[in-house]
Chain A
């Protein structure tokens, strides 16, 4: 939360003061991006450079490289369809980042964000195709008009939304033939609907609130609709167009934008390109569906854009990209090292994979307490390493453009309790849960009963909000179906235990005030180390419920969970 609170509005005069050019900073960025290109794409071969695998030589780093001799990467393009090789997709991504960086760095202030939107749209067009890009941009046009109507350019944007609808849903891209009636008709219909229906409706307060809620939460409504359709017609696929999927994956950030909007932090006359800059920036492209709330909504982004010397922010970004590189390169190597080492001394850890542990147990295999504890802990470490790598990459990219975005991932191994763990492990995601679920509960109910107030708000954020977000995540990875809903519902103990852990710690803290800061160098530092272990181990253990096996029941998962505490119950 401090990161959010530290976000204070800034004016363009100060932004211009912070916008000074330094060639060596530009060279540092380009050098770092070149390193990414070298390690994570197939650029080495045409450039006549040795492959990364050849450079590693005799070192036993086989888990680091893929078949074509470069580094296997978790930085990827989600739901890719157009381009066969992920290395080529990454090349486009790094190229777009470099081009966008140069524009954002050297262009005058008023053109910077527009340039970012432009390069991002171009990159999305190359990676996902014009059809998907039109769907995504068109959906944002509609949302923009619903939130910011009554502007002179409204009819033109509505017509552009109509054109986007034509390109996304009607145009035959395989044959390239234009349907002139639709091409002319849809923009005209868009402009007419805007003038005749949308603007008058949005002048009525209640209708406007309803329309805005529907537009903002269209993703959740789509999930509900698709599940109902699935229930009515079992077995029928319900494909969502890719452009809409890309838009829906931004549901959490759209929600953050709307929270800012309701709090009066978004100017009602915000120009379109500054709206789009929240959603279309090169930082969103990699792993589109991961850490979707980076970097939150309009207020946070706007308050942190060129809020201090841009060269310092950019160098922080370069450093973060360097750390990301370390995580991305080493995570699988460390996993295999830990796995083989512990297997050798007779403690099976199932390749540090909780899902494999669960499968083994559900299939009737025996496991001991040490095995359960170590597998879940190492799985958490494994996940934190590659998750941390990708999140650092995404935040690092945002910083290259002058956005002083806080780290999503900040040394979670220093967290001495679950509340701190969530700040350190998934900072921006937690901000989403706090602003979209915790605050609305906290400021609405049990205002005279502090404990109940804090407990209910914590459960709403950590259990209910977290659960809803995971439904959306699961649904948009696949086709939203009843099966997906049933799967997520089956993981309920995770959300309840996490919510109880977080709420319980907060209530404990309300009664017993801390007398020292964690990691103060005194004799209690040993207790900090123990608290870190308990926190991470508990968080790792409850992930058993997030990795159900097809044939297993929740009771099986509880039995396995209890083995972690040394309690063996009969099947």
Chain B
């Protein structure tokens, strides 16, 4: 799966699950500061990523480098898919 396809699916998920009219969601939007991601949001995102891309996520993957924005999240998924 291409990186932009991964990003598009994550983008759609975030827009549908955590709607936020006041911010335009782009690849660089800080998910932790500007979007609707809190502790539950992160666990829901993990559940989505595991189901949608059939990857396994571990505790060590939950960090600021991977979850910072859609771009970093997509790269993380792409790395996992190609592993």
Contact = CB atoms under 8 A, between A and B. Distances in A.
B18 A1 contact: no
Interface string A434-462: 11000110110001001001100100000
A264 B60 contact: yes
A516 to B, nearest CB: 8
Contacts of A435: 59
Contacts of A443: 57-59
Given A2-B32, A450-B47, A439 B40 contact: no
A510 interface: yes
Size category of the binding interface on chain A: 20 to 34
B78 interface: no
A151 B76 CA distance: 34
Interface stretch (A3-11, A172-180, A560-568): A3-11
Interface in B26-60: 32-33, 36-40, 42-44, 46-47, 50, 57-60
Nearest to A431: B39
Given A1-B39, A1-B42, A509-B40, A517 B20 contact: yes
A391 B2 CA distance: 47
B10 to A, nearest CB: 16
A259 B59 CA distance: 9
A553 interface: no
Interface in A73-122: none
A114 B19 CA distance: 47
Nearest to A422: B39
Contacts of A450: 44, 47
Contact of B33 (A2, A439, A453, A506): A2
A506 B40 contact: yes
Q: For the complex, would chain B's binding face be called helix, strand, loop or mixed by DSSP majority?
A: helix
Contacts of B22: 517, 520
Q: For the complex, would chain A's binding face be called helix, strand, loop or mixed by DSSP majority?
A: helix
A513 B40 contact: no
A336 interface: no
Contacts of A30: none
Nearest to B60: A263
B64 A8 contact: yes
B34 to A, nearest CB: 11
A5 B59 contact: no
A419 interface: yes
Contacts of B39: 1, 419, 423, 434
A439 B67 CA distance: 16
B8 interface: no
A493 B68 CA distance: 38
A235 interface: no
A265 interface: yes
A209 interface: no
Contact of A453 (B20, B37, B40, B47): B47
29 contacts: A1-B38, A1-B39, A1-B42, A2-B38, A5-B42, A5-B62, A6-B32, A6-B64, A7-B64, A8-B63, A8-B64, A8-B68, A259-B59, A263-B60, A264-B60, A419-B38, A420-B38, A434-B39, A439-B59, A443-B57, A447-B50, A450-B47, A454-B43, A509-B40, A510-B40, A510-B44, A513-B18, A513-B19, A514-B18
Interface of B: 17-20, 22, 32-33, 36-40, 42-44, 46-47, 50, 57-60, 62-65, 67-68
